[in-house]
Amino acid sequence: MTDNKAVTAAVPRHVAIIMDGNNRWARKRFLPGVAGHKAGVDAVRAVIEVCAREGVEVLTLFAFSSENWARPQEEVGALMELFLFALHREVRKLRDNNIRLNIIGDRSRFDPVLQRAMADAEALTANCSGLQLLIAANYGGQWDITQAARSLARDAVAGVIDAEAISAEEVGARLCTGDFPMPDLCIRTGGERRISNFLLWQLAYAELYFSDLFWPDFKHDAMRAALADFACRQRRFGKTSEQVAAES
């Protein structure tokens, strides 16, 4: 896991996105909620294209939270079908564009057919060296921190590590994103101003960008605008502006 350093922002290495507003987009058009999720697939393609072109290394998309199981069963079932369909249809395009897919979260609750499709999709893109695409599915930030703590506790009990020597870096390494740099930029669409249990540990020093656009409308220009906004920010990581300027 790469440490963050105080720098003037340019292109973020890692962008994380909370894709919000699919249902509201559909309601405005008097369509069922799943229509918004289907329309959102085009926005996913758009942000992947922009991130790959602009040199972003990692893109994490919050596709399905651990709390989303509480939604109406019909919507959850439709989302699972859409997820399976998208995996089958899109994974070869990812491979052909040198994009590696990683799915993070607790897969145990998914249907075995979907679990196999996830594993197959990851295997198909395993040798890709371009943009790293992380899809957070049945993911929650509290769950992620908890599973990291359990992993460390097991090793401490077994005598593999010294509990007193556990550092923040070691906790971060046990998170689902432990092999990737911390997010530099977190985008949320749909007009809401919260992070909704997404990458709670990882977003400690991320720049936050909120868009009023519903996710299906967040396309190429909107993504470029978010990156341009990030490029204007000064990232201090606890230091003063003068210190950062002197280090530049």
Q: Are 172 and 14 in contact (CB under 8 A)?
A: no
| 20 is known as an active-site residue | yes
Q: Are 62 and 19 in contact (CB under 8 A)?
A: yes
- Nearest one of 46, 48, 24, 47 to 36, comparing CA atoms: 24
The active-site residue, picked from 3, 4, 20, 102, is 20
State which H helix or E strand residue 101 sits in. Answer: strand 100-104
| 96 is known as an active-site residue | no
- Find the Cα–Cα–Cα–Cα dihedral 212, 215, 221, 222, rounded to 10°: 40
- Nearest one of 13, 14, 15, 32 to 24, comparing CA atoms: 32
- Nearest one of 128, 56, 134 to 99, comparing CA atoms: 128
The active-site residue, picked from 4, 68, 97, 197, is 68
Which residues are marked as active site? Answer: 20, 68
